[in-house]
Amino acid sequence: MKNKEYLLSPGPTPIPAEVLAEASLPIRHHRTPEFSKIFTRTVSGLQYVFQTQNDVYILAASGTGAMEAAVVNVLCPGDRVISISTGKFGARWGDICRSYGIDVHEVELAWGHDYPPEKLASSLKSFPGARAVFTTLSETSTGTVYDIRRYAEIVSKTEALLVVDGISGIGAMPCPMDEWQIDVLISGAQKAFMTPPGLSYIAFSSRAWKAVEKASLPRHYLDIRKYKQSLLKKTSPFTPAISLLGQQCKALERIRTAGLRRMFDHHRILGEATRAGVQALGLELLSQNPGNILTAVRIPSGLDGKEFVDIMHNRYGVYIAGAQVPHQGEFFRTAHLGFMSGFDIITALAAMEMALRDLGYPVKGGEAVKAAQFILKECYCEKNIGL
Amino acid sequence: MKNKEYLLSPGPTPIPAEVLAEASLPIRHHRTPEFSKIFTRTVSGLQYVFQTQNDVYILAASGTGAMEAAVVNVLCPGDRVISISTGKFGARWGDICRSYGIDVHEVELAWGHDYPPEKLASSLKSFPGARAVFTTLSETSTGTVYDIRRYAEIVSKTEALLVVDGISGIGAMPCPMDEWQIDVLISGAQKAFMTPPGLSYIAFSSRAWKAVEKASLPRHYLDIRKYKQSLLKKTSPFTPAISLLGQQCKALERIRTAGLRRMFDHHRILGEATRAGVQALGLELLSQNPGNILTAVRIPSGLDGKEFVDIMHNRYGVYIAGAQVPHQGEFFRTAHLGFMSGFDIITALAAMEMALRDLGYPVKGGEAVKAAQFILKECYCEKNIGL
């Protein structure tokens, strides 16, 4: 018999009960007016979260499917692109592009490092003729967020398109697609969208659509022109993931009721509380520019990072994420994303105190919790920004 | 307020309550031993249904994603292939191949027509050097089934691979992958597998793996080598559709308990009952070789096929499928697939009698039901083959 579990991972994230319950309803057919209503409401909810007038297309695929859709729909073989490798997921942009014979200029950052916009400006100069810049809003492997607003200011003055992986960031931090002039923006259901994994989302600016019309990379399932055509008929070109879509529709009701402003404040406060908590324990953050989606924390020297994550999970039932290859054991990642509340953060911090003590790290008990409580009070007393 | 609904479509199909309920459980993380157990059980269940020792890979994608995976993982640009266009879905093989610059010899069948194995043998002779033959077990747009066993006998004697779309057929009719020597076999969750759409399945023979190693079409999300590598670690390379996978695992318990023999008998009897019922009304079947997955029935001349399907759905709450482009209005499709029982067939036939009468077609009432009852008695009294 295992302990009660608490999910603190940066995807999947905890799902509200009414969203879980939605999937227990009988399956609907997808070529009906009833389904079209749900489909249309979901698209409109996604547009609200993407802060865009562009259509948002729904793929039955993991986030990587949407990343590949971004690549194959705007490029031609041999095109030059700049790809900013921000970590495990940022590196995927380059991998996908190279699979398709794209000429990739890859900017490799040390994990957790920032990439100042001025550097992007010089990359664009030293690698002229780039058709696109691929980057990441919130790098899920490190918790680092990047200055997409300023990247977009720079890229929009060139011929290149700005393609942004917003998988873990969208909905949890500001990234208004239209206002910032992002050309291709993607996200996924299992992050701030509070829905099980299996759906990913992608939107194209009108500038990006010009590239779509010229793009000549091979594609069928991810051919966004088919999705555009079907959207006019309020449906998807291939059998959609009907139950997940119904769940996303339900979760978007909660997101709309809270409002984006509140979503951002909520995640900001949970992020601040988490950082304050781990720092009160004398732990160091991995990231030069930590965001409010997840916090990556260095394992103190002398401690076994894998063992720490195992104790958190197996002894205390608190599922945080470890570091990914090639940095396994060096840090851990605790999320503050999706349907969590302040007391999920308290739980995570209290369990960290206990697990660290188990490993012989000097913890009195309560110090991380106390630091977080000061910040969380804002959430509960002053601004009432729960979800 | 709408009437209670009955789903008689060939995908999605009705889902058992315990499979629906599974999705209302809290989401699990996918990099845990607990998830690996479910993953491994699901793969093993899929192998049982595919009747194969080959690994079965689980994609977070519609069936079309698995079709594209079959193409991109075994071919090189410029390869020659034979594609049997059996209807709307059979035609998709050719479309996908052409998207990737494959030289397609397309056999275009009139909808509902059979393709005798001897004709495939001559096609292989008149189009030498084909690397693969793409075909369909049960064409969902027409209800026609094809003689995969004999196709495989012919194709296995050549250099070509036999690639079979088993999306609507696998689990409902015999198609043993290993015994018949099928090289690539695909299927999807929302048919006989009794699970919501969003997952598709693909397996490769050892002969097909040799082609995978040489294949040079671009791919990333659908690159099956990544799935093979991850399977060794009892997981998927990209975030899986966790809740759907849990549901598929649950549905496979029911399928294993029933056993394949019973699954096939069950679908056969429901198919026979449906055909007997519509024929008792004087209606004609579309297909030269109708299968036990769904039955396509010609709309009697003078009647409006679209209106018939609308009355079935909107007046009686019975959702059957119409005919797809370019044959809209010419026939309808009623399924006997997945979690249905004999009384779902009775419901469909009784509603057809009522809707036909509404349109002025001569029906006394009860004649289709009576014809079906004689056959269904076998199901309930003699063999007890319910699911």
> Residue B24 and residue A27: Cβ atoms within 8 Å?
no
B133 min Cα distance to partner chain A (Å): 19
B-chain residues near A239 (CB < 8 A): 11-12, 62-63, 188, 190, 197
Last residue in a domain, options A257, A278, A301: A257
E strands, A166-306, in order: 184-188, 199-204, 294-298
pLDDT along chain A (387 residues), means of 10: 89 96 95 96 98 98 98 98 98 98 98 98 97 98 98 98 98 98 98 98 98 98 98 96 98 97 95 98 98 98 97 96 97 97 96 97 96 89 72
Task: Take residue B294 and report the two structure tokens written for it.
Answer: 């769904």
A-chain residues near B191 (CB < 8 A): none
Are both B114 and B141 inside the same structural domain?
yes
B-chain residues near A28 (CB < 8 A): 12
Give the residue from chain A lying closest to B89, CA to CA.
A238
Are both B313 and B222 inside the same structural domain?
no
What CATH number has the domain bearing residue A290? 3.90.1150.10
A-chain residues near B217 (CB < 8 A): 218
**What local confidence, expressed as pLDDT, does residue A384 receive?**
65
Are both A94 and A226 inside the same structural domain?
yes
Residue B135 lies in a domain: yes
Using the CB atoms, write b or e for B355-371: b if 16+ within 10 Å.
bbeebebebeeeebbeb
Give the residue from chain A lying closest to B21, CA to CA.
A24
Q: How many domains does chain B have?
A: 2
Residue A317 lies in a domain: yes
Residue B96 lies in a domain: yes
**Which CA distances in Å does B149 have to A46, A173, A234?**
46, 55, 40
Are both B76 and B176 inside the same structural domain?
yes
**Which of B90, B87, B64, B98 is CA-nearest to residue B325?**
B87
Test mutation, B27, B31, B195, chain A, max A CBs within 10 A? B27
A242 min Cα distance to partner chain B (Å): 6
What CATH number has the domain bearing residue B44? 3.40.640.10
Using the CB atoms, write b or e for B287-303: b if 16+ within 10 Å.
bebbbbbbbbbbbbeeb
**What local confidence, expressed as pLDDT, does residue B202 receive?**
98
Test mutation, A18, A29, A200, chain B, max B CBs within 10 A? A29
Residue A314 lies in a domain: yes
Residue A387 lies in a domain: no
A-chain residues near B60 (CB < 8 A): 60-62, 65, 197-198
Are both A246 and A288 inside the same structural domain?
no
* Integer Cα distance of B1 and A269 in angstroms: 44
Residue B384 — pLDDT band, cuts 50, 70, 90? Answer: low
Last residue in a domain, options B213, B241, B257: B257
> Kindly report the CA angle at A185 between A155 and A65, in degrees rounded to 5?
125
Are both A219 and A76 inside the same structural domain?
yes
Test mutation, A1, A73, A221, chain B, max B CBs within 10 A? A221
Give the number of residues written for chain B. Answer: 387
Partner residue opposite B15 with nearest CB, options A27, A238, A244: A27
> Residue B240 and residue A197: Cβ atoms within 8 Å?
yes
> Residue B241 and residue A239: Cβ atoms within 8 Å?
no
> Residue A244 and residue B198: Cβ atoms within 8 Å?
yes
> Residue B61 and residue A221: Cβ atoms within 8 Å?
yes
Are both B245 and B332 inside the same structural domain?
no
B-chain residues near A62 (CB < 8 A): 60, 221, 238-241
**What local confidence, expressed as pLDDT, does residue A41 receive?**
98
Residue A214: Cβ-neighbour burial (10 angstroms; 0-12, 13-18, 19+): exposed
A-chain residues near B219 (CB < 8 A): 99
Residue A185 lies in a domain: yes
ipTM over 0.90: yes
Are both B39 and B150 inside the same structural domain?
yes
> Kindly report the CA angle at A290 between A135 and A67, in degrees rounded to 5?
25
B157 min Cα distance to partner chain A (Å): 31
Partner residue opposite A197 with nearest CB, options B99, B101, B239: B239
pLDDT tens readout for residues B363-372: 999 999 999 9
Partner residue opposite B24 with nearest CB, options A24, A28, A222: A24
Partner residue opposite A221 with nearest CB, options B23, B64, B218: B64
> Residue B239 and residue A101: Cβ atoms within 8 Å?
no
- Say which DSSP state A170 is in: B
Give the residue from chain A lying closest to B191, CA to CA.
A239
Task: Take residue B27 and report the two structure tokens written for it.
Answer: 């989401």
**What local confidence, expressed as pLDDT, does residue B1 receive?**
67
pLDDT tens readout for residues A103-158: 999 999 999 999 999 999 999 999 999 999 999 999 999 999 999 999 999 999 99
Per-residue pLDDT, averaged over B61-67, amounts to 98
* pLDDT exceeds cutoff 80 at B2: no
B13 min Cα distance to partner chain A (Å): 8
Per-residue pLDDT, averaged over B238-256, amounts to 98
A-chain residues near B242 (CB < 8 A): 12, 190, 196-198
Are both B214 and B265 inside the same structural domain?
no
**What local confidence, expressed as pLDDT, does residue B93 receive?**
98
Residue B142 — pLDDT band, cuts 50, 70, 90? Answer: very high
Q: Give the count of alpha carbons within 13 A of A286, CB side only.
A: 28
The residue type of B252 is L
Per-residue pLDDT, averaged over B359-386, amounts to 88
Last residue in a domain, options A257, A275, A304: A257
Partner residue opposite B197 with nearest CB, options A11, A15, A241: A241
Test mutation, B20, B29, B324, chain A, max A CBs within 10 A? B29
* pLDDT exceeds cutoff 80 at B304: yes
In chain B, count H helices and then E strands: 14, 14
> Residue B27 and residue A12: Cβ atoms within 8 Å?
yes
Residue A198 lies in a domain: yes
A181: left (phi over 0), alpha (psi -120 to 50) or beta: left
Residue A379, classed as helix, strand or coil, is helix
The residue type of A26 is P
B29 min Cα distance to partner chain A (Å): 6
Task: Take residue B256 and report the two structure tokens written for it.
Answer: 């294993």
> Residue A62 and residue B243: Cβ atoms within 8 Å?
no
* pLDDT exceeds cutoff 90 at B310: yes
Size of interface A-B (CB pairs under 8 A): 181
B-chain residues near A14 (CB < 8 A): 26-27
Partner residue opposite B12 with nearest CB, options A29, A65, A101: A29
Give the residue from chain B lying closest to A241, CA to CA.
B198
Are both A54 and A179 inside the same structural domain?
yes
What is the residue range of B209's domain? 17-257
Residue B1 lies in a domain: no
**What local confidence, expressed as pLDDT, does residue A16 receive?**
97
pTM above 0.90, yes or no: yes
Give the residue from chain A lying closest to B10, CA to CA.
A29
Are both B52 and B190 inside the same structural domain?
yes
B-chain residues near A217 (CB < 8 A): 218
Partner residue opposite B218 with nearest CB, options A64, A99, A321: A99
**What local confidence, expressed as pLDDT, does residue A3 receive?**
83
Give B320-383 as a DSSP string. -EEPPTTSTTTEEEEE--SS--HHHHHHHHHHHHHHHHHTT----SSHHHHHHHHHHHIIIIIS
The residue type of B315 is R
A2 min Cα distance to partner chain B (Å): 11
Contact A82, A97 (CB under 8 A): no
> Residue B29 and residue A7: Cβ atoms within 8 Å?
yes
Give the residue from chain A lying closest to B99, CA to CA.
A218
Task: Take residue A29 and report the two structure tokens written for it.
Answer: 């057919």
| Block residue for tokens 């990209």 | B238
B357 min Cα distance to partner chain A (Å): 24
Contact B137, B173 (CB under 8 A): yes
Are both B105 and B132 inside the same structural domain?
yes
**B322 contact partners, CB below 8 Å, separation of at least 6:** B305, B306, B309, B328, B329, B332, B333
